[in-house]
Structure 1
Amino acid sequence: MQLLALALYHQDNRKTPRVLRFRPGRLNILTGESETGKSGVLAIIDFCLGRRKPGLPDNPIDRTVGWYALLVEFRDGRRMILARPRSAGESTNEAFVCSGDGNLGLPRADELIVNSNAAALRGEVSTHLGIEDFRFQPAVGAARYSFDVSVAQAALFCFQNQDEIAASHTLFHRQTEDGIEQAIKDTLPYFLGAAGPDQALRQHRLGEARREVRTAQRKLDAALRQREVLDTNGIALLRLAQSEGLLSDVPTAPDADTVQALLRKAITVPPLAPISSDIGDRRQELNEERRTLRAQLQEFDAALATVDRWQRRSFDFIGELHFQVDRLKTLDLLGPERDHDNDVCPMCTQPLEHPDPSARDIARLTDRLSKELEQAAGVQPVRQEHRRALQAQRDNLAERLKSNGLLLKELMASDENMARLQEQHLRAAHLQGRIAQSLAHDRPPTDNIGQLRNSLASVQEVVSVLEEHTANDDVPAETERRLADIAADMTPWARRLMLGQSTAPNEAGISFNSLKVVIRRPEGRLAQERVGSAKNYIGYHLVAHLALHTYLRRHNRPVPSFLALDQPTQAFFPSKPRDASAVPDADWSTVTEYFRLLHDVTELNEGKLQIIVCDHVNLPDGWFQDAVIGNWRPTDDGTRDALIPTDWLA
């Protein structure tokens, strides 16, 4: 596919379209001063090939243009019109597509209507280019999306914008944008012919099969780990069941099947019968009896204390009576004094205010006290007998209380034993529940492991078969071999331009891994960014793309047959020169050689390669002037041609 014409249609359909015509199979040079719109030409061509974002300057193009149209021609002579309306925002998906024979020309402004979209446009162009219909599948596990191989990727090899052709770290168009570098790596082998849809499909199937192997291996490993965990948990449950009396004679190292069988047996063991007893009632009766006995014992203790108190008082009273009686009995020793007048003091014979008792009265008192003493002595044995009776009853109560205490102690011991039995019953029931839950939720993976092993072996066999089929599909090696063929042209052309590090035995080439130019030297490889100077960066970009397109044309690969370059001589002139032809101190011999190489490469490809160059340079050489398709400089009448006509800006 080569370009025949580029047309810009004014928003006002009454104005004449701005048409820039190209010559296929030749060098096309668009020269002129700065700010005439030369760099916009490449962006418009790229947009017409299906880009959603036009990337065009806001003024004056965006203020005046309504449609962009590109007329292209394919190898078979078929033509297509690829037109895009001006984007109202940052992007647009609308398009106009028209196909025809060799008589198809640019449409009229009123014929441009939206009849397609960008994706369909790319699809039709891809079909005419001969790009096979297949979807690129990223490697399994890659954080990228699959995509349809189309002219969208092929066009990346056809443009070198002003900032790209002088880049030190990149080689291809839009390489610095997200995902573009990887897209180039993904599709370059196909466009070079090192891989096709069949290889891509086989590689994708192999990648899927390997993913299935990894998945099957993970499942098998997980099942084995699960079985190991189940075995460990099962053995632990077996030991607990043995300790709780649910099982006996558990093997020291049982296998998985034995573990499962024993666990099932453990849950079939009937639980211990609940222990029913009237211990609580009996304990209550004993406690009631104990309280009664203690109350009665306290009553007997009080009665004994009272008897003892009476006994002590009786002893004291009797002792006092004996003392008084004995003292009074001394009156029996009196003689005639017994009849002494008790109204007179026997010592002084004086009358007494209160007469003393007579001896006869004292004798009578003594007799009465003696009788009372005899009576008191008679009561003493009765009281002692009563105390002995009370003490016997009290001792009986104490013995009954002691027996009650022993019974309560025995009852408490029995109660503790019953609690231990009840606790054991609960532990056994809880353990049976755990075992049942384990058997219900943790299915023994023995059978499943066998299935997983079979599945793994099956997918491994598929991988082996696919690896045999793809053994000859060494895409990286084949890509490197074809890049070596490209390097065979790059090296002499780099020496022709006298680029840095190009002298023998050094060789220039393209690195597939880094997508950069590399210089292969005896002492080691030199990366593109280390060759130094803008002249070398631009020179190596030129020879790399010229050699790449020469290879593509030589092998009829489905990449558009044009190379569009913007400002390839910028390294030799100041920034934005008004007219490079007026710069006196430029290295004109080197500039001439750059363009001469472009001219010679188009001649070498015998009409199969079209090169479009936008630059400030306007060399006087006849071959250069024959290649000029536009000279956007002031004319003798003061007017100046440009991408946007002067009358459009009025």
Structure 2
Amino acid sequence: MITIGDLALEAPSSSRPLEVNADTEVVKDVLSERLRIERFRIEPDRGSLRHPFEVSSKQALLFCFQSQNEIANRAVLFHRQNEPEVRPTIRGALPYFLGASTPEQSAIQRQLLQARRTLQRLLIEIRAAEAELSQRDDRTFNLLRSAVALGLLSESDQVGNDPDHGRDLLEQILHYESESVDTTLSTEAVARQAELLEEGRGIRRQLREVDDRIALMTRLEAEQSDATSELAIQRDRLSALEFMRPRERHAAGHAGTCPLCDQGLPQSDETIESLQALLSDLDTRLAASRGSAARRESVIDDLKESREHLLTALRKNAADLDAAAIQNQELSEGRERREQVAFLKGRVSQELERGVHVEGGVEELRVAERRARGQVARLEELFEADDPTESLRRAMDGLSELITDYARSLELEGSEHYARLDPGELTVSYRRPGGRVPLARMGSAENWVGYHLAAHLALHHWFVTKDRPVPRFLMLDQPTQAFFPEEVVDATDDEDADWGAVRRQFELLKDVVTSLGGRFQVIVCDHANLADDWFQDAVVDNWRNGVALIPDDWPSKAT
């Protein structure tokens, strides 16, 4: 921080060197403390993306400056108002600096908001608890019907109109003892069923094997029968050779004897021998086939007998399995009933506990509701006694009267009507019979500058008289620019200027400062230079002929 004086902010002596010992944030906090700015947090509007901020000297200084481009600007009224972040800051901080919104009011408003939320929550909880109580009879009736269905109560048990009787029945259900469970029997039944299932699978597997063998033997028998029939046909065809056998006096089947005439042949005939051998082979094969068929039929009969035994065993297995399934179903139904009874007991226990909590909770909630209503009523009374909205409206009324008086002193457009400061739009307007006319719709730079002066002088008059924590100065840069050309150097020689309007501006500044008894200072940088003694007495420096706020030789001295 640059040390520039004591607690009164007086300028240091030339013998005391400047000392840098802090950053700008510390300077801001120190200035805020010396201005007696309270710790006050500005919350953004609901739904806004802006962050809250603490009021400080940084915001207070926005009401102390009017640059050359701002004082004659009909679109903005305050310093840096055209900056996106500054405009909502001014709108939020203005009620505090006017005294319409205080930390105490903010605290009461937050407490009132919290108390209303608490009351609303209690009302919701009371409605829910009362709904629980109104539905209790229905829930009790449903629980008792479930108990009757499970055999825990008889059909004669009824709730009636006595809630205590219903509670007694629920207690009876809660103390019901389920039958004991024979876990050994249940385990054996499950094991027996699994054993029968495995046995049935084995019998069916054996049955399939026997059926496959019977089908195979039957198929072989059919094929053998076809082959035997074919052999028999061939043997019948060769049986004609019996008529060609030689006479008994010849060797049987002798190839040198003619089978027709029984005469000797000069050479033996091999065909006759072959035919006779084939016939003999066919006889042998037919005899073997008949023997094989008989054995195969015997095997098929044995397989069919085995199949009958397997079918009998399978039917017995199915009967045993049905019996085991019935036993397991009975055991399962017993377990299911026990589970249903246990589940019903849990619901009953929950209902009994809920009834106790709800009945006691409703009374507690109603007591808390009465306390919350009393708290809300007290806070509403405090808030209404010092309502920020009403306080801001009263402040605007007082400021508007001052602005109207100052506008009439300056003979501004619309000053015959009532001028008013709009804290939401951050502008000045006057209302005529045809409607409201804001600063942006007023004509001529004289009116723009004039209403800037009227508004800021009215604000500082309020700040001073209400002892608000705003620096007691207002710096204006060229308020008379509307009356002189831009290139003018010394307005004293400008005969075309509206010196009457210029005089009215400075006389208004003088009158406001005088009325505040030296508690307010106006700093003006301007080309105008009136010859009046009061004006000349107020001139501190006359920057002309090379003399300026920043002398020309400063850069050379710095090097």
Match of 1:482 in 2: 395
The residue identity in structure 1 corresponding to 2:432 is R
Structure 2 CA distance for aligned equivalents of residues 204 and 485 of structure 1: 28
| Residues 165/415 of structure 1: CA separation in 2 closer, same or farther (3 Å cut) | farther
Q: CA deviation at 1:581?
A: 3.6
Asked whether 1:136 is paired with 2:49, we answer no
Classify the secondary structure of the residue corresponding to 1:470: helix
Match of 2:503 among 555, 568, 592: 592
Match of 1:471 in 2: 384
Match of 1:462 among 375, 399, 405: 375
Answer whether contact 1:293 1:401 (CA < 8 A) is retained: no
| Residues 454/435 of structure 1: CA separation in 2 closer, same or farther (3 Å cut) | farther
The residue identity in structure 2 corresponding to 1:276 is A
The residue identity in structure 1 corresponding to 2:40 is R
Match of 2:199 among 264, 277, 282: 282
Higher relative contact order (CA 8 A, sep 6+): 1
Structure 2 CA distance for aligned equivalents of residues 204 and 624 of structure 1: 51
Asked whether 1:396 is paired with 2:309, we answer no
TM-score (ref. length: structure 2): 0.65
| Residues 160/303 of structure 1: CA separation in 2 closer, same or farther (3 Å cut) | closer
Structure 1 CA distance for aligned equivalents of residues 342 and 14 of structure 2: 87
Instruction: For 1:340-355, list aligned pairs within 5 A.
Output: 352-354=263-265
Answer whether contact 2:196 2:317 (CA < 8 A) is retained: no
The residue identity in structure 2 corresponding to 1:289 is Q
Answer whether contact 1:162 1:568 (CA < 8 A) is retained: yes
| Residues 512/323 of structure 1: CA separation in 2 closer, same or farther (3 Å cut) | same
Q: CA deviation at 1:304?
A: 5.8
> What whole-Å deviation, never above 9, does each CA across 1:143-195 have from its counterpart, x for those lacking one?
53352x45444333222222221232332223344554444444434443445
Classify the secondary structure of the residue corresponding to 2:305: helix
Asked whether 1:527 is paired with 2:444, we answer no
Classify the secondary structure of the residue corresponding to 2:474: strand
Match of 1:164 among 70, 74, 78: 70
Asked whether 1:114 is paired with 2:17, we answer no
Answer whether contact 1:487 1:510 (CA < 8 A) is retained: yes
Q: CA deviation at 1:127?
A: 5.4
| Residues 402/490 of structure 1: CA separation in 2 closer, same or farther (3 Å cut) | same
The residue identity in structure 2 corresponding to 1:287 is R
Structure 2 CA distance for aligned equivalents of residues 426 and 562 of structure 1: 92
Structure 2 CA distance for aligned equivalents of residues 384 and 152 of structure 1: 123
The residue identity in structure 2 corresponding to 1:138 is E
> What whole-Å deviation, never above 9, does each CA across 1:529-575 have from its counterpart, x for those lacking one?
12233322111011111222233334444433322111112223343
The residue identity in structure 1 corresponding to 2:396 is L
Q: CA deviation at 1:587?
A: 2.8
Classify the secondary structure of the residue corresponding to 1:112: coil
> What whole-Å deviation, never above 9, does each CA across 1:218-268 have from its counterpart, x for those lacking one?
9959999xx9xxx9xx9xxx9xx99xx99999xxxxxxx9xx99x999xx9
The residue identity in structure 2 corresponding to 1:166 is A
Classify the secondary structure of the residue corresponding to 1:586: coil
Classify the secondary structure of the residue corresponding to 1:276: helix
Match of 2:456 in 1: 545
> What whole-Å deviation, never above 9, does each CA across 1:11-50 have from its counterpart, x for those lacking one?
xxxxxxxxxxxxxxxxxxxxxxxxxxxxxxxxxxxxxxxx
Structure 2 CA distance for aligned equivalents of residues 135 and 549 of structure 1: 21
Structure 1 CA distance for aligned equivalents of residues 113 and 87 of structure 2: 22
Classify the secondary structure of the residue corresponding to 1:283: helix
Asked whether 1:641 is paired with 2:554, we answer no
Q: CA deviation at 1:523?
A: 3.4
Answer whether contact 2:403 2:419 (CA < 8 A) is retained: yes
Q: CA deviation at 1:282?
A: 0.4
Asked whether 1:174 is paired with 2:80, we answer yes
Over the matched positions of the two proteins, sequence identity in percent amounts to 30
| Residues 247/172 of structure 1: CA separation in 2 closer, same or farther (3 Å cut) | farther
| Residues 632/392 of structure 1: CA separation in 2 closer, same or farther (3 Å cut) | closer
Structure 1 CA distance for aligned equivalents of residues 116 and 298 of structure 2: 107
Structure 2 CA distance for aligned equivalents of residues 384 and 179 of structure 1: 114
Answer whether contact 2:430 2:438 (CA < 8 A) is retained: yes
Structure 2 CA distance for aligned equivalents of residues 173 and 186 of structure 1: 15
Match of 1:627 among 533, 538, 541: 538
Structure 2 CA distance for aligned equivalents of residues 516 and 550 of structure 1: 18
Classify the secondary structure of the residue corresponding to 2:2: strand
Answer whether contact 2:429 2:436 (CA < 8 A) is retained: yes
Which region of structure 1 is more displaced relative to structure 2, 546-555 or 383-392? 383-392
Answer whether contact 2:427 2:438 (CA < 8 A) is retained: yes
TM-score (ref. length: structure 1): 0.57
Q: CA deviation at 1:404?
A: 6.2
> What whole-Å deviation, never above 9, does each CA across 1:411-468 have from its counterpart, x for those lacking one?
99899999999999999999999999999xxxx9985986888767755543332112
Asked whether 1:563 is paired with 2:474, we answer yes
Match of 1:204 in 2: 110
Instruction: For 1:12-91, list aligned pairs within 5 A.
Output: none
Classify the secondary structure of the residue corresponding to 2:420: strand
The residue identity in structure 1 corresponding to 2:70 is E
Classify the secondary structure of the residue corresponding to 1:171: coil
Match of 2:272 in 1: none
Structure 1 CA distance for aligned equivalents of residues 394 and 16 of structure 2: 51
Query: Which residues of structure 2 form unaligned runs of 5+?
Result: 155-166, 248-255, 267-282
Structure 2 CA distance for aligned equivalents of residues 516 and 537 of structure 1: 11
> What whole-Å deviation, never above 9, does each CA across 1:67-90 have from its counterpart, x for those lacking one?
xxxxxxxxxxxxxxxxxxxxxxxx
The residue identity in structure 2 corresponding to 1:609 is F
| Residues 306/620 of structure 1: CA separation in 2 closer, same or farther (3 Å cut) | closer
Structure 1 CA distance for aligned equivalents of residues 477 and 391 of structure 2: 32
| Residues 414/119 of structure 1: CA separation in 2 closer, same or farther (3 Å cut) | same
Structure 2 CA distance for aligned equivalents of residues 114 and 515 of structure 1: 37
| Residues 180/422 of structure 1: CA separation in 2 closer, same or farther (3 Å cut) | farther
Q: CA deviation at 1:111?
A: 2.4
Answer whether contact 2:207 2:307 (CA < 8 A) is retained: no
Match of 1:80 in 2: none
Structure 2 CA distance for aligned equivalents of residues 463 and 222 of structure 1: 20
The residue identity in structure 1 corresponding to 2:383 is T
Q: CA deviation at 1:641?
A: 1.1
Which region of structure 1 is more displaced relative to structure 2, 520-529 or 131-140? 131-140
Structure 2 CA distance for aligned equivalents of residues 391 and 100 of structure 1: 129
Answer whether contact 2:196 2:321 (CA < 8 A) is retained: no
Structure 2 CA distance for aligned equivalents of residues 407 and 612 of structure 1: 120
| Residues 436/605 of structure 1: CA separation in 2 closer, same or farther (3 Å cut) | same
Answer whether contact 1:517 1:540 (CA < 8 A) is retained: yes
Answer whether contact 2:91 2:423 (CA < 8 A) is retained: yes
Answer whether contact 1:220 1:453 (CA < 8 A) is retained: no
Structure 2 CA distance for aligned equivalents of residues 395 and 508 of structure 1: 123
The residue identity in structure 2 corresponding to 1:482 is A
Structure 2 CA distance for aligned equivalents of residues 146 and 453 of structure 1: 39
Query: Which residues of structure 1 form unaligned runs of 5+?
Result: 1-93, 250-256, 332-342, 356-371, 635-639
Match of 2:486 among 570, 575, 587: 575
Structure 1 CA distance for aligned equivalents of residues 80 and 456 of structure 2: 14
The residue identity in structure 1 corresponding to 2:65 is F
Which region of structure 1 is more displaced relative to structure 2, 172-181 or 153-162? 172-181
| Residues 179/220 of structure 1: CA separation in 2 closer, same or farther (3 Å cut) | farther
The structure carrying a bigger strand percent of its residues is 1
Answer whether contact 1:185 1:512 (CA < 8 A) is retained: yes
Which region of structure 1 is more displaced relative to structure 2, 312-321 or 454-463? 312-321
Match of 1:297 in 2: 214
Match of 1:155 in 2: 61
Classify the secondary structure of the residue corresponding to 1:170: coil
The residue identity in structure 2 corresponding to 1:136 is R
